[in-house]
């Protein structure tokens, strides 16, 4: 067994049953002209964590542990995009519209790809998801069960939307979940702080948080 120094208390795990889930580190959220920008967000905030997420990926690769990357995107015919998601609000472009990185949040388009610095390596799983949570309408649960994974480390964007939703889904399914504090980001710094506080409150009601440095130390 190994231990990560974490909040609200140490996170103990068997490396044979640990995997990393990197949520939606896609050009559509991180680069100008994508989905995040159409909603009026300052995407430069998210770009800052790319090096830290890269360190976390390297630590898991060196340890030979499973890595799952998710991408929030929809089929080209948008049959998996509920009208409520496409039509809500007044974005500058809607899901499926043609933008500077191809059609917004559509699978196979340049914008839906993971940023080049964090691209998946051979053997790593890349999972497209139509929702905010990575368990909804995907085979994630089956993939983790097949590999006998019980403990998950999470990174990615955005902290209070797809990351927190997926952590809550995982927690309800019985996984022990830890979020890498400096490898996740929000367009709203106050929402990131609140999400981290919520996750670890009440004796880790959703899970744990720890820095990438502490995770690296434990995996070394």
User: Using CB under 6 A as the criterion, which residues of the chain lie in contact with ligand C5J when the complex forms?
Assistant: 24, 29, 72, 132, 157-158, 161-162
3-class DSSP state for residue 79?
coil
CB 165 within 8 A of CB 132: yes
Catalytic residue flag (residue 162): yes
| Structure-token pair, residue 27 | 């050009």
State the nearest-atom distance from the C-beta of 164 to ligand C5J, in Å: 9
State the nearest-atom distance from the C-beta of 3 to ligand C5J, in Å: 29
State the nearest-atom distance from the C-beta of 128 to ligand C5J, in Å: 12
42: left (phi over 0), alpha (psi -120 to 50) or beta: beta
State the nearest-atom distance from the C-beta of 13 to ligand C5J, in Å: 25
Catalytic residue flag (residue 129): yes
Closer to ligand C5J at the Cβ: 4 or 207? 207
Closer to ligand C5J at the Cβ: 163 or 215? 163
3-class DSSP state for residue 6?
coil
* Annotated catalytic residue within 129, 132, 177, 192: 129
Closer to ligand C5J at the Cβ: 13 or 35? 35
State the nearest-atom distance from the C-beta of 90 to ligand C5J, in Å: 16
d(CA 24, CA 31): 12
Closer to ligand C5J at the Cβ: 24 or 169? 24
CB 49 within 8 A of CB 183: yes
What backbone torsions phi and psi does residue 11 show, to the nearest 5 degrees? -110, 115
Residue 55: is it exposed, middle or buried by C-beta count within 10 angstroms (0-12/13-18/19+)?
middle
Per-position DSSP letters for 188-199, written without gaps between them = SHHHHHHHHHHH
Distance of CA 58 to the CA centre of its chain: 16
Catalytic residue flag (residue 97): no
| Structure-token pair, residue 136 | 């909804």
Closer to ligand C5J at the Cβ: 12 or 92? 92
d(CA 153, CA 53): 12
* Annotated catalytic residue within 28, 162, 182, 192: 162
Catalytic positions, written as ranges: 24, 129, 162
């Amino acid at each position: 067994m190994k231990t990560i120094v974490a909040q609200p208390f140490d996170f103990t795990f068997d490396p044979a049953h640990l995997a990393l889930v990197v949520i939606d580190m896609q050009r559509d959220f991180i680069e100008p002209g994508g989905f995040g920008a159409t909603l009026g967000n300052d995407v430069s905030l998210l770009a800052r964590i790319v090096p830290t997420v890269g360190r976390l990926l390297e630590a898991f690769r060196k340890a030979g542990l499973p890595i799952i990357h998710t991408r929030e995107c929809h089929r080209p015919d948008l049959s998996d995009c509920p009208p409520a998601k496409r039509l809500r609000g007044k974005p500058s472009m809607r899901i499926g519209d043609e933008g500077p990185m191809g059609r917004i949040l559509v699978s196979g388009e340049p914008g839906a790809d993971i940023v080049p610095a964090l691209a998946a390596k051979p053997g790593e799983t890349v999972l497209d998801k139509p929702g905010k949570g990575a368990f909804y309408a995907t085979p994630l649960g089956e993939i983790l069960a097949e590999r006998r994974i019980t403990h998950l480390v999470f990174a990615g964007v955005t902290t209070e939307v797809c990351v927190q939703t997926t952590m809550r889904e995982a927690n309800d399914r019985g996984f022990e979940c830890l979020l890498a504090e400096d490898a996740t980001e929000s367009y709203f710094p106050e929402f990131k702080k609140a999400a981290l506080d919520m996750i670890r409150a009440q004796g880790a009601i959703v899970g744990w948080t720890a820095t990438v440095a502490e995770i690296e130390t434990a995996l070394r």
